[in-house]
């Protein structure tokens, strides 16, 4: 059973198009994330949702809009795609944020979606 | 975000132990030290994490300096499958995001 799955695995599209990437986790986690890995392999957080509520929104263009229909799903919709959006996008999930000092949970990542904008 | 410093790359032979160092001199008292790795063409994978004491799990061991300003990830017997980029990350307890640096690329030779 795949813990964190993403679809599609590859996405090739033209500039100006709108596309979506889907993510699902079957781990029962409350928190989900989107990360972007650029051509230089630098990984950076984009968004985080906890119980369907947006809790992290890094400086990402508002062409990117995450949507969490339920705790197990976090989709990423991108409007008006640009060449610079070409990257690998990773979804991840983790248990809820620790409420105590001694809480810190690992994140489980999906296999990634390679987006190529031409 | 507190920063970590890692060597760009390291090499090892198969079946030998590997010690991957990480410096984090600006670590705060509530920062956990996490290690993730990314195998080629895959998503990052959790390896281990700790706060103050050394930690062991089935994948690796984490040795944390007494002043917590550095740590070492120890792979007891490297295999070819351990060839990956290893990231040392400081994580606040109250925040969920992982701030990835450039990591250490581990090359394992047969």
The per-residue pLDDT for range A14-63, each reduced to its tens digit, is 999 999 999 999 999 888 999 999 988 889 999 988 888 888 888 789 99
Could you give the CA distance from residue B108 to residue B79 in angstroms, rounded to a whole number?
7
3-state secondary structure of B81: helix
Express as a percent the part of chain B with pLDDT over 70.
Answer: 94
Residues 6+ apart with CB under 8 A from B28: B2, B92
Please count the other Cβ atoms lying within 10 Å of the Cβ belonging to residue B19: 12
Could you give the CA distance from residue B60 to residue B103 in angstroms, rounded to a whole number?
17
Strands A113-117 and A31-37: unpaired
- What is the structure's pLDDT at A37? 95
Please indicate whether, in this complex, the C-beta atoms of B97 and A100 are within 8 angstroms of each other. no
* Predicted confidence (pLDDT) at residue A92 exceeds the cutoff of 70: yes
- What is the structure's pLDDT at B30? 81
* Predicted confidence (pLDDT) at residue A101 exceeds the cutoff of 50: no
Please indicate whether, in this complex, the C-beta atoms of B100 and A43 are within 8 angstroms of each other. yes
- What is the structure's pLDDT at A98? 53
3-state secondary structure of A36: strand
Range with the poorest average pLDDT among A69-73, A80-84, B83-87: A69-73
**A and B: number of Cβ contacts within 8 A:** 64
B interface test, pick of A30, A106, A111 with most B CB neighbours within 10 Å: A106
Range with the poorest average pLDDT among A75-79, A84-88, A99-103: A99-103
Residues 6+ apart with CB under 8 A from A17: A80, A81
Please tell me the distance in Å from A17's CA to the nearest CA on chain B: 26
Q: Which of the 8 DSSP states describes residue A11?
A: E
Tokens of B45: 């994978």
- What is the structure's pLDDT at B94? 60
Q: How confident is the model at residue A103 (pLDDT cuts 50, 70, 90)?
A: low
Please count the other Cβ atoms lying within 10 Å of the Cβ belonging to residue B56: 13
* Owner of token pair 């989709």: A75
Q: Among A89, A67, A66, which residue's Cα sits nearest to residue A11?
A: A89
| Minimum-distance CB partner of B91 among A35, A55, A104 | A104
- What is the structure's pLDDT at B2? 63
What is the average pLDDT score of chain B? Answer: 92
What radius of gyration do chain A's Cα atoms show?
Answer: 14
- What is the structure's pLDDT at B100? 87
* Predicted confidence (pLDDT) at residue A100 exceeds the cutoff of 60: no
| Minimum-distance CB partner of A97 among B38, B44, B94 | B94
* Predicted confidence (pLDDT) at residue B31 exceeds the cutoff of 60: yes
CB B30 within 8 A of CB B91: no
* C-alpha distance across the termini of chain B, in Å: 38
Q: For B52-79, what is the mean pLDDT?
A: 95
């Amino acid at each position: 059973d795949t813990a964190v799955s993403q679809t599609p695995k590859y996405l090739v599209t033209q500039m100006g198009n709108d596309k979506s990437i889907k993510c699902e986790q079957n781990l029962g986690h409350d928190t989900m994330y989107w990360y972007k890995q650029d051509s230089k392999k630098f990984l950076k957080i984009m968004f985080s949702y906890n119980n369907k509520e947006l809790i992290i929104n890094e400086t990402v263009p508002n062409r990117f809009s995450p949507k969490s229909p339920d705790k197990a799903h976090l989709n990423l919709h991108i409007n008006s795609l640009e060449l610079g959006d070409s990257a690998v996008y990773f979804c991840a999930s983790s248990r809820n944020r620790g409420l105590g000092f001694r809480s810190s949970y690992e994140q489980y990542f999906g296999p990634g979606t390679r987006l190529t904008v031409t | 975000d507190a920063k970590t410093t890692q060597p760009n790359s390291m090499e090892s032979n198969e079946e030998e132990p590997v010690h991957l160092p990480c410096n984090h001199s600006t670590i705060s008292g509530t920062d956990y030290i996490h290690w993730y790795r990314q195998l080629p063409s895959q998503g990052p994978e959790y390896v281990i994490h700790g706060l103050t004491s050394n930690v062991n799990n089935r994948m690796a061991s984490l040795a944390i300096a007494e002043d917590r300003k550095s740590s070492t990830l120890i792979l007891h017997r490297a295999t070819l499958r351990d060839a990956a980029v290893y990231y040392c990350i400081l994580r606040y307890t109250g925040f969920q995001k992982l701030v990835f640096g450039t990591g250490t690329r581990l090359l394992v030779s047969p």
